[in-house]
């Protein structure tokens, strides 16, 4: 009897499984067609970048952007679009922002072309000015104090933590301007790994050198490229230590300073920074929602951060991630998909320098008893999608889709999802599945936090492929989770 049942079950299983595969492939096709043929993400990102531009938390531009976001999302007939008020920090760059170098050896060093390691002589020539004082490509780090007039000092270059501690303990850093110059490891294929190994210099470097009596900190820009674009980013001070001003210098500039410092003991740097921290300001997360039909009180949140640094237009970081999420919600609606869970596209505010938006979102969700079954974050730019980082608990379900994911070039499934903005959701919902969208990483740090993060550097097809990928992942999560 058992045997008969088993035999009878086989054709049935084949039939249903085959039908399932057909409908899966049809859904992939519908979603990618909608993104690539009738996509809206690229045009909306263009509007955001060109009518609003950079959106630093607490700035007038960020508030203008939130008005635009609410209006734009409101034009798509989602079930609801609303803002979630939250106070954010407010730091402002100033017109007064300059870094000068004085060295009699400068032109001879540049002529020697000793920066050939990075093949950047072409860039370096642009720095040369016909005087012995040269203005260099640099910008204040977000959160830095100002200099209160000009600050001049001799430079010490530091390439590792070990060197920092030994020079510090020997008293060499006292009264100096310290350049933290550890470069990206170019051998690391995943550029985020190289970033992770260096970014501590930027974030806590000022206090690390202040501990040894330094008067200011310069940090090599977080980039794989050798060029003249400084990359800003967040920094924080240790309260118990002296607060000192901090700037990022372009990678090519860091190379020149390092070479000169080795040969010219009279090398001097002058900084002048007018940046200030102002009182916190009211801002908001922006949310668009499609209600679930089976589990309306269970949520899948997906999004990116709406704020950006003030250099560039926040196109890849993280306008692209915001558009991925909005477009995913739009695509699923456009293809006639009825979600089982309530789907939320969230544009979190203040990821770059405070994470206040993400913290507030999770807090309000907890207060309202909103159970999140999954959350996805896209904050690695609008480049060609490769796949996803996913909580181990969901990898088996995802593997069933491997064939289709591979067919669309998004079959890379890595253990461990998550991201800064969805971290607080995980804390409140330990069983929720966390997903991080993974695009190709090779060009991200060319533009990250720099004036080059503009709409023109986003490729339309790559952005659309990313949006379709996010839509597909939300659909898979919605189908598989209860
Ligand atoms: Zn970001």
DSSP 8-state class, residue 455: G
- Region(s) of the chain under CATH 3.40.630.10: 28-92+279-480
Distance CA 476, CA 397 (A): 9
What pairs with residue 372 in β-bridges?
A: 299
Q: What is the mean pLDDT of residues 194-219?
A: 98
Residue 231 Cα, ligand 1 centroid: separation in angstroms?
A: 13
Contact assessment for residue 222 and residue 202, using Cβ atoms and an 8 Å cutoff: yes
Residue 117 Cα, ligand 1 centroid: separation in angstroms?
A: 29
Residue 455 Cα, ligand 1 centroid: separation in angstroms?
A: 15
Residue 133 Cα, ligand 1 centroid: separation in angstroms?
A: 36
Distance CA 43, CA 323 (A): 10
Mean pLDDT of the chain: 92
Residue 318 Cα, ligand 1 centroid: separation in angstroms?
A: 5
Helix axis angle for 321-334 and 2-37, nearest 10°, is: 120
Highest averaged pLDDT of the listed ranges 197-201, 256-260, 415-419: 197-201
Helix axis angle for 392-399 and 460-480, nearest 10°, is: 100
Nearest in space to 468 (alpha carbons), one of 41, 68, 62, 154:
41
Q: Which single residue is written with the structure tokens 């950047």? A: 120
pLDDT at position 108 is: 66
Residue 76 burial (10 A CB sphere; 0-12, 13-18, 19+) = middle
First to last CA, the chain: 34
Whether residue 121 has pLDDT greater than 90: no
Whether residue 109 has pLDDT greater than 90: no
DSSP class per residue in 319-355: IIHHHHHHHHHHHHHHTT---SEEEEEEEES-TTTT-
pLDDT at position 103 is: 83
Residue 214 Cα, ligand 1 centroid: separation in angstroms?
A: 30
Position 2 confidence tier, pLDDT thresholds 50, 70, 90? very low
Residue 83 Cα, ligand 1 centroid: separation in angstroms?
A: 20
Residue 197 Cα, ligand 1 centroid: separation in angstroms?
A: 17
* Distance set, CA 155 to CA 127, 159, 181, 395 (Å): 18, 13, 12, 50
Q: What is the mean pLDDT of residues 336-359?
A: 98
Residue 402 Cα, ligand 1 centroid: separation in angstroms?
A: 28
pLDDT at position 259 is: 87
Q: What is the mean pLDDT of residues 197-216?
A: 98
Contact assessment for residue 367 and residue 424, using Cβ atoms and an 8 Å cutoff: no
Residue 379 Cα, ligand 1 centroid: separation in angstroms?
A: 5
Which residues are CB-neighbours of 201 under 8 A, at least 6 positions away? 180, 182, 219, 220
Position 22 confidence tier, pLDDT thresholds 50, 70, 90? confident
Provide the residues around ligand 1 (an ion) whose CB is within 5 A.
Answer: 317-318, 379
Q: What is the mean pLDDT of residues 376-397?
A: 96
Residue 175 Cα, ligand 1 centroid: separation in angstroms?
A: 34
Q: What percent of the chain has pLDDT over 90?
A: 84
Position 131 confidence tier, pLDDT thresholds 50, 70, 90? low
Residue 20 Cα, ligand 1 centroid: separation in angstroms?
A: 37
Residue 70 Cα, ligand 1 centroid: separation in angstroms?
A: 20
- Region(s) of the chain under CATH 3.50.30.30: 97-274
Tens-place pLDDT, residues 420-462: 999 999 999 999 999 999 999 999 999 999 999 999 999 999 9
Residue 292 Cα, ligand 1 centroid: separation in angstroms?
A: 29
pLDDT at position 123 is: 43
Residue 307 Cα, ligand 1 centroid: separation in angstroms?
A: 8
Nearest in space to 55 (alpha carbons), one of 286, 274, 219:
286
Residue 308 Cα, ligand 1 centroid: separation in angstroms?
A: 7
pLDDT at position 107 is: 66
Distance of CA 371 to the CA centre of its chain: 26
Position 105 confidence tier, pLDDT thresholds 50, 70, 90? confident
pLDDT at position 133 is: 76
Contact assessment for residue 371 and residue 433, using Cβ atoms and an 8 Å cutoff: no
Q: Which CATH architecture has domain 97-274?
A: 3-Layer(bba) Sandwich (3.50)
Residue 80 Cα, ligand 1 centroid: separation in angstroms?
A: 25
User: Which H helix or E strand runs over 254?
Assistant: helix 251-263
Tens-place pLDDT, residues 138-180: 999 999 999 999 999 999 999 999 999 999 999 999 999 999 9
* Phi–psi pair at 134, nearest 5 degrees: -120, 135
In b/e form, how buried is each residue of 281-291, taking b as 16+ CB within 10 angstroms?
eebbbbbbbbe
Contact assessment for residue 136 and residue 124, using Cβ atoms and an 8 Å cutoff: no
The side-by-side arrangement of strands in the sheet containing 341-348 is 80-92, 276-290, 341-348, 295-305, 371-377, 433-439, 385-390, 412-415
Strands 246-249 and 268-273: unpaired
Q: What is the mean pLDDT of residues 4-11?
A: 39
pLDDT at position 19 is: 54
Residue 305 Cα, ligand 1 centroid: separation in angstroms?
A: 6
Q: What is the pTM of this model?
A: 0.92
Distance CA 397, CA 400 (A): 6
Position 350 confidence tier, pLDDT thresholds 50, 70, 90? very high
Lowest mean pLDDT among 92-106, 185-199, 229-243, 443-457: 92-106
Highest averaged pLDDT of the listed ranges 29-33, 96-100, 111-115: 29-33
Highest averaged pLDDT of the listed ranges 33-42, 110-119, 412-421: 33-42
Output 79 or 124, whichever has higher pLDDT.
Answer: 79
pLDDT at position 111 is: 53
Residue 352 Cα, ligand 1 centroid: separation in angstroms?
A: 6
CATH class of 28-92+279-480: alpha beta
Whether residue 15 has pLDDT greater than 50: no
Position 117 confidence tier, pLDDT thresholds 50, 70, 90? very low
Q: What is the mean pLDDT of residues 127-134?
A: 60
Residue 321 Cα, ligand 1 centroid: separation in angstroms?
A: 8
Output 119 or 184, whichever has higher pLDDT.
Answer: 184
Residue 420 Cα, ligand 1 centroid: separation in angstroms?
A: 9
Distance CA 454, CA 382 (A): 11
Q: Where are the beta strands (DSSP E) in 67-198?
A: 80-92, 97-102, 133-135, 138-140, 151-158, 177-180
């Amino acid at each position: 009897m058992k045997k008969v049942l088993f035999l009878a079950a086989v054709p049935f299983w084949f039939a249903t499984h085959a039908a399932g595969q057909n409908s899966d492939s049809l859904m992939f096709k519908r979603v990618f067609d909608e993104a690539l043929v009738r996509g809206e993400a690229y045009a909306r990102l263009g509007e955001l970048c060109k009518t609003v531009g950079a959106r630093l938390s607490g700035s007038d531009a960020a508030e203008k952007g939130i008005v635009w976001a609410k209006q734009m999302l409101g034009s798509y007939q989602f079930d609801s679009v609303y803002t979630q008020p939250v106070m954010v920090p407010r730091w402002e760059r100033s017109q007064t922002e300059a870094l000068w170098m004085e060295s009699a050896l400068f032109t001879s060093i540049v002529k020697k072309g000793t920066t050939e390691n990075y093949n950047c002589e072409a860039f370096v020539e642009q720095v040369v000015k016909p005087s012995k004082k040269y203005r260099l490509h640099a910008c204040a780090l977000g959160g830095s104090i100002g200099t209160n007039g000009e600050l001049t000092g001799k430079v010490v270059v530091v390439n590792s933590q070990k060197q920092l501690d030994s020079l510090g303990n020997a008293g060499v850093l006292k009264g100096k301007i310290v350049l933290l110059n550890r470069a990206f490891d170019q051998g690391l294929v995943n550029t985020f790994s190289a970033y992770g190994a260096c970014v501590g210099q930027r974030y806590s470097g000022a206090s690390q050198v202040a501990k040894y009596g330094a008067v200011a900190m310069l940090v090599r820009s977080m980039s794989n490229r050798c060029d003249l674009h400084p990359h800003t980013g967040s920094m924080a001070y240790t309260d118990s230590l002296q607060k000192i001003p901090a700037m990022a210098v372009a990678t090519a500039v860091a190379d020149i300073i390092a070479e000169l410092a080795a040969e010219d003991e009279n090398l001097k740097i002058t900084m002048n920074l007018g940046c200030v921290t102002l009182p916190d300001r009211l801002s908001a997360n922006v949310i668009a929602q499609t209600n679930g039909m089976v589990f309306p009180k269970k949520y899948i949140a997906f999004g990116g951060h709406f704020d950006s640094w003030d250099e560039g237009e926040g196109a890849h970081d993280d306008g692209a991630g915001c558009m991925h999420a909005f477009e995913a919600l739009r695509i699923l609606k456009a293809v006639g998909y009825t979600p089982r869970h309530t789907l939320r596209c969230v544009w979190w505010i203040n990821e770059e320098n405070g994470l206040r938006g993400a913290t507030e979102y999770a807090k309000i969700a907890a207060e309202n008893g909103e159970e999140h079954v999954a959350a996805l974050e896209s904050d690695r730019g609008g480049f060609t999608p490769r796949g996803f980082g996913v909580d181990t608990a969901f990898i088996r379900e995802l593997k069933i889709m491997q064939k289709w994911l591979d067919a669309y070039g998004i079959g890379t499934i890595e253990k461990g999802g998550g991201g800064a903005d969805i971290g607080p959701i995980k804390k409140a919902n330990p069983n929720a599945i966390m997903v991080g969208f993974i695009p190709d990483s090779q060009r991200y740090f060319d533009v990250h936090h720099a004036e080059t993060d503009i709409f023109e550097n986003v490729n339309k097809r790559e952005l659309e492929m990313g949006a379709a990928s996010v839509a597909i992942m939300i659909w898979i999560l919605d189908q598989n989770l209860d």
